[in-house]
Structure 1
Amino acid sequence: MYWNANAFHRSYIEMEKQFKVFVYGEGELPLFHNGPCKSIYSMEGNFIHELEVNKQFRTLDPDKAYVYFLPFSVTMLVKYVYVPNSHDFGPIKQTVRDYASLISTKYPFWNRSLAADHFMVACHDWGPEVSKSNDYLGRNSIRVLCNANTSEGFNPSKDVSFPEINLPNGNTHGLIGGPSPRVRTVLAFFAGGLHGPIRPLLLELWENKDQDMMVHQYLPKGVDYYKMMRKSKFCLCPSGFEVASPRVVEAIYTGCVPVLISDHYVAPFGDALNWKSFSVEVSVNDIPNLKRILMSISTSHYLRMQRRLIQVRKHFEFNSPPKRFDVFHMILHSIWLRRLNVRVHDGLPT
């Protein structure tokens, strides 16, 4: 389940000892130092909040920091700055551009590294587009994005894949846990809207076609979404309009082995976790062969995958306050690893 468990634990402990984050204090509510703590964008607000109140990793002395956090929320920019149906990113980009100009004028750190030791977070689909507001922000900074799409410029060597976690009530109460594999009677399950190019194909080929493949656009009346996940061996996680899907973490929470159906998606925490050991990756072209692919997985192999899934689940759990090895710490660990690739020499990153 880990590429190298010993190496991961060593780097994690090193992060705990050394890593310090400076949060820029500039910017006012509701666009800055704020974000949604519920819904599929919940990790934006929760991460901002947990970092700002954190006493272990946050430093108030910028000279002691390894990285510098830009505490704006893309979701809040969309809510308060974007003009609905205008298709105009201009006002949002200007806000971020002005913010970058402010901190680069007031502090030396942005110009010293050309933003290579700075980071932003965004779970909104428009995160990558907003990052292009400033050339250095888009090209050099560590972008922590749910929309981790390599076909749209996501660079795994410097950017971080941000897990999309749907918290309807702002916490994980009732979301985590599921029965043993012995009582999971459904081979594969999916329910969701026709968003993007992949799901229509999935529904066309599998909806109401096979009793083992419970694929729905709308769940039948009286059928509970999370109960279906807990009854299923595999949970299908096709991309929507963008590559990220909250179903991946929902599947992990409920002990249902996720089936990633996406092209160009970089799964979270891939530096530490070997996703092939606890999930199934299926290309879009192989959607017609879904059942054959899943049926070809032996019972013993499936049981190993499901056991590893339960073991890695702690890395995706949201806690407030955070706990060691949980999703907050894993995000910081991913940022820490990318910061190690940045060398500032004579005022420029090398």
Structure 2
Amino acid sequence: MFVITQKNVTFNISLEKPHELSSLNETHALQIEPKIKKKFTNLEKLEVKLGKARAAIKEAATFGNQTDDSDYVPSGPMYWNAKAFHRSYLEMEKELKVFVYEEGEQPIFHNGPCKSIYAMEGNFIYQMETSKFRTRDPEKAHVFFLPISVTSIVHFIYDRNSRGHWDPMRQTVMDYINLVSGKYPYWNRSLGADHFMLACHDWGPELSKSVPELFKNSIRALCNANTSEGFKPSKDVSFPEILLPGGTMNGLLGGPSPSRRSILAFFAGGLHGPIRPILLEHWENKDDDIQVHKYLPKGVSYYGMLRNSKFCLCPSGYEVASPRMVEALYTGCVPVLLKDHYVPPFSDVLNWKSFSVEVPVDRIPDLKKILSGISTRQYIRLQRRGKQVRRHFEVNMFAKRYDVFHMILHSVWLRRLNMRLHGLEYL
């Protein structure tokens, strides 16, 4: 939540509720007194354009879009407001400019993994640095990207044998922010509010605390979107953890029809965190319909089990992030979220209840009853909707419209739309 004062008018700007995308208020736009001649700053000009974008989104949410978008037109209950999302996406394509700081060297900066469960860090950094949304002129930028790879920091700097093992990692983040804030005026101008970082590693939230303004003000795009650890849906972005064993989606997409899926629910994974022990205690080797394994039997294919299952169980480990939700969507299996304090990816736009099942942790003993109680008709709806939204979770070597790269960027765009920097005061 930002409290912003301009000309004695206070705006409380928030995205706490996902459907607030449809109520973006054009009154956030810059108010210009017609008889006063003034030379406007670049920032003021940017704010005027953002105000027009807000107005266009509100109009689309109310009256629909007057556009011919032959590529993809969002529709259906998978979206909180499909018309508003569509217009917002088109406005992003037309307006958004991102300045990527060039300071910092690989492997800690401008780098990241591409084949682990943290692969999205490297994928996004690569896509961002070659994207049409990138501008080399910071005066034209709406947002500023800090190309820090938390996964690389952990890999190259973390020393488990050191008593103060957090200190060198935190110092690395502090040094980088000090570098860019000393060289450019933009961090200090907004106290970091129009800057964003991206981290898929579990320690992303913790390392963001290295600089108070980074934690409190900046847009943090995190896989580990845990509200109990300070994730704020009003300013932070939840994006998916995606495991690409070969570095691409090859062989990961698709699965049989619902009628050919013989297993009611499936999970296989290590025993860690507070939720999985409960799941295994109640269901491991207890029921043929609920296939729960700590270790898969020899010769059994993990992806084969996903494709033969109607529902795929997605419990948290020590952290809320997990690649299982995307694995389910890739293979046509309906995700079952067994998580506390978790904000699902892109939930400012996507209505997860329309294509997944949420089961409270205390109802794990009732899993079979809950899932068996979902009618065939409703299951087919869930599965079909999951296949429709899958495009938003796909990773492409060359980014495609509405794919995961663009959805992350769109979530950042929404947060920028919901703040005003001209005359900014934090109260």
Aligned to 1:76: 152
Aligned to 2:238: 161
Question: Which residue among 333, 343, 346 is the counterpart of 1:256?
Answer: 333
Q: 1:348, CA displacement in angstroms?
A: 4.3
What SS does the corresponding residue of 1:344 show, helix, strand or coil? Answer: coil
Question: Which residue among 28, 36, 53 is the counterpart of 2:130?
Answer: 53
Aligned to 1:204: 281
Partners of 2:425 and 2:101 in 1: CA distance:
21
User: Partner letter of residue 172 of structure 2?
Assistant: T
Partners of 1:288 and 1:256 in 2: CA distance:
21
Aligned to 2:376: 299
Question: Which residue among 173, 183, 206 is the counterpart of 1:106?
Answer: 183
Counterparts of 1:196-235 in structure 2, within 5 Å, are 196-235=273-312
Partners of 1:91 and 1:228 in 2: CA distance:
42
Residue 270, structure 1, aligned to residue 347, structure 2: yes
For structure 1, list consecutive stretches of 5 or more residues without a partner in the other structure. none
Aligned to 1:243: 320
Note the alpha carbon deviations across 1:189-234, whole angstroms, 9 max, x for none: 0000001111111001000111100000000111000000000000
Aligned to 1:3: 80
Note the alpha carbon deviations across 1:139-195, whole angstroms, 9 max, x for none: 000000010000110000100002100011111101111111110010000000001
CA contact (8 A) 1:188 1:233 kept: yes
Residue 132, structure 1, aligned to residue 212, structure 2: no
Aligned to 2:92: 15
Q: 1:349, CA displacement in angstroms?
A: 5.9
Aligned to 2:412: 335
Residue 187, structure 1, aligned to residue 286, structure 2: no
Question: Which residue among 84, 93, 111 is the counterpart of 2:170?
Answer: 93
Q: 1:53, CA displacement in angstroms?
A: 1.0
Question: Which residue among 400, 403, 409 is the counterpart of 1:323?
Answer: 400
Count of residues paired in the alignment? 349
Q: 1:271, CA displacement in angstroms?
A: 1.3
User: Partner letter of residue 36 of structure 1?
Assistant: P
- What's the TM-score once normalised by structure 1's chain length? 0.98
User: Partner letter of residue 44 of structure 1?
Assistant: E
Q: 1:85, CA displacement in angstroms?
A: 4.2
Post-superposition, which runs of at least 4 consecutive aligned residues in structure 1 deviate over 4 A?
347-350
- Counterparts in 2 of 1:250 and 1:329: CA distance versus 1, 3 Å: same
Q: 1:346, CA displacement in angstroms?
A: 3.1
Partners of 1:2 and 1:286 in 2: CA distance:
27
CA contact (8 A) 1:343 1:349 kept: no
Note the alpha carbon deviations across 1:74-114, whole angstroms, 9 max, x for none: 00000111112436211011011011111111111101100
User: Partner letter of residue 292 of structure 1?
Assistant: K
What SS does the corresponding residue of 2:312 show, helix, strand or coil? Answer: strand
Partners of 1:78 and 1:253 in 2: CA distance:
29
Q: 1:343, CA displacement in angstroms?
A: 1.1
**CA-based RMSD:** 1.0
Partners of 2:322 and 2:252 in 1: CA distance:
16
Partners of 1:155 and 1:116 in 2: CA distance:
13
What SS does the corresponding residue of 1:119 show, helix, strand or coil? Answer: strand
Partners of 2:403 and 2:270 in 1: CA distance:
30
Partners of 2:85 and 2:161 in 1: CA distance:
45
Q: 1:345, CA displacement in angstroms?
A: 2.6
CA contact (8 A) 1:116 1:349 kept: no
Aligned to 1:67: 143
Note the alpha carbon deviations across 1:7-60, whole angstroms, 9 max, x for none: 110100000000110000000111000000111000000000010011x20000
Residue 173, structure 1, aligned to residue 240, structure 2: no
Counterparts of 1:272-287 in structure 2, within 5 Å, are 272-287=349-364
What SS does the corresponding residue of 1:288 show, helix, strand or coil? Answer: helix
Partners of 1:215 and 1:295 in 2: CA distance:
16
Larger Rg: 2
User: Partner letter of residue 408 of structure 2?
Assistant: I
CA contact (8 A) 1:114 1:349 kept: no
Aligned to 1:118: 195
User: Partner letter of residue 137 of structure 2?
Assistant: D
CA contact (8 A) 1:314 1:326 kept: yes
CA contact (8 A) 1:22 1:65 kept: yes
- When structure 1 is superposed on structure 2, of 209-218 and 340-349 the one drifting more is 340-349
For structure 2, list consecutive stretches of 5 or more residues without a partner in the other structure. 1-77
CA contact (8 A) 1:113 1:349 kept: no
Q: 1:347, CA displacement in angstroms?
A: 5.5
What SS does the corresponding residue of 2:174 show, helix, strand or coil? Answer: helix
CA contact (8 A) 1:131 1:138 kept: yes
CA contact (8 A) 1:111 1:347 kept: no
Partners of 2:231 and 2:161 in 1: CA distance:
26
Q: 1:283, CA displacement in angstroms?
A: 1.1
Partners of 2:192 and 2:128 in 1: CA distance:
19
